[in-house]
Structure 1
């Protein structure tokens, strides 16, 4: 099933490992699709900064704004 959604989150793991987990058999939002791909990332030196940025991006609620960020 193709969801046509962006997943926004932060992790302390390597990005390849996090993506592998999203593509594995599990329950939750990311389990609904098996075609997730990494299209954008930002490095942060600490978890709290990464979490703040995650909340900021999620607050946009705009696919158009996300696409602009990804294309930069």
Structure 2
């Protein structure tokens, strides 16, 4: 399984979107300073995730979310998931 995930850092009040096959490991690495953008904070927490059968589908969804460039859109994803 592959996942698209959105992390949130309260410290810098920012979201980060990525894809992985192991969310727990990725969050740990982001909090250890791996990655350029996420090295700015060490309090990243999982805000939202979606599951996909293929890496290609996960990448497509990640790019779709990133193209929106919208904090409102990201915050609406969590609300939509909570209603399901």
Q: TM-score, normalised by structure 2?
A: 0.77
Deviation per CA, 1:17-37: give whole Å up to 9, x if none.
110000114451111001100
Matches within 5 A, 1:6-25: 6-12=15-21, 14-25=22-33
> Which ranges of 4 or more aligned residues in structure 1 deviate by more than 2 Å?
none
**Conserved? CA contact 2:52–2:58, under 8 Å:** yes
Higher strand share: 2
Long gaps (5+) in structure 1: none
Equivalent in the alignment of 1:2: 11
Matched, 1:43 2:51: yes
Distance 1:27 1:65 in 2: 24
Find out whether 1:32 has 2:40 as its counterpart: yes
Name structure 2 gaps, 5 residues minimum: 1-9
Question: Over residues 45-67 of structure 1, what are the superposed CA-to-partner deviations in whole Å (9 max), with x where a residue is unaligned?
Answer: 11000000000000111101111
Q: Give the number of aligned pairs.
A: 71
Q: How far apart, in 1, do the equivalents of 2:34 and 2:47 lie? A: 22
